[in-house]
Structure 1
Amino acid sequence: MQIKNKTKNLIVSKEVIIAKNFYSRLKGLLGKENLPENQCLIIYPCKSIHTFFMKFPIDAVFIDKNYKVLKILKNIKPGKTSSYVKKSWAVIEMPVNTLVESKISTGDELLLLSDNI
């Protein structure tokens, strides 16, 4: 799967991991040494995140059920928590420094693309 920014017509991430059950959401990125470039983790349902016990910083995008970008957090260091985003349905965790204005901005619409499209 890939994530495409529909608004800007570009691929944001080429490899998507989905965490939707209790265990996968609980584990998230714990135990990983890093998050490779062009890879991301989508956690849903999710209205806030933490980076306790993580070994590296991340960028995060909070989206609603229509994949509209609600909030962007950059360079979240280990041991931190995000604010609660009331209208958030999911969070996309990405490698640090991925979220530059040219890729994703608040209000953009994203798409989740299957590999066989």
Structure 2
Amino acid sequence: MNLSNGAELVNNLSTADTFFKRLKGLMFSKKLPAGHGLLIEPCQSIHTFFMNYSIDVLYLGKDLEIVGLDETVKPAKVGKYQKRAVSVLELPAGTIRKTGTKIGHYLLTI
């Protein structure tokens, strides 16, 4: 939930919090359905190699402030490196625009 504007970002969240889960991430998955998301922690940057679809990416600080974002990251790309990020939330492409999510917004509990 985006605490700053009340928009729901995810209602089905998976977590990648071990080395192998972070390494795999969304690679080789067929799609990321609406309402689903993957929280990767710790994480400061992402890639979309071995993916067949675009994603939106939120870079989160330790207080769940959005410190960076990438919209519609296409397959085989590298996201921005965010020094202040401690985790990353991967979402279906278009989620950021649809929910009006911005840098500086805060998320409610993940």
TM-score range, shorter chain: over 0.9
Tell me whether 1:60 sits opposite 2:54 in the alignment.
no
| Superposed CA offset, 1:79-110 (max 9, x none) | 10012110100110000111117431110010
Q: TM-score, normalised by structure 1?
A: 0.89
4+ residue runs over 4 A deviation: none
Q: TM-score, normalised by structure 2?
A: 0.94
Give the Cα separation in 2 of the matches to 1:103 and 1:26. 29
Aligned partner of residue 12 in structure 1, secondary structure? coil
Question: Does the C-alpha gap of structure 1 residues 101 and 95 become closer, same or farther in structure 2, counting only changes over 3 Å?
Answer: closer
Give, in angstroms, the shift of residue 111 of structure 1. Answer: 1.5
Which of the two has greater helix per residue? Answer: 2
Greater Rg over alpha carbons, structure: 1
- Which sections of structure 2, spanning at least 5 residues, go unmatched? none
Which of the two has greater strand per residue? Answer: 1
Q: CA contact under 8 A between 1:13 and 1:39: conserved in structure 2? A: yes
- Aligned letter for 2:104? G
Tell me whether 1:91 sits opposite 2:88 in the alignment.
yes
Q: Could you tell me which residue of structure 2 aligns to residue 19 of structure 1?
A: 16
Give, in angstroms, the shift of residue 72 of structure 1. Answer: 1.2
The percentage of counterpart residues that share the same residue type is 33
- Aligned letter for 2:5? K
- Aligned letter for 1:70? V
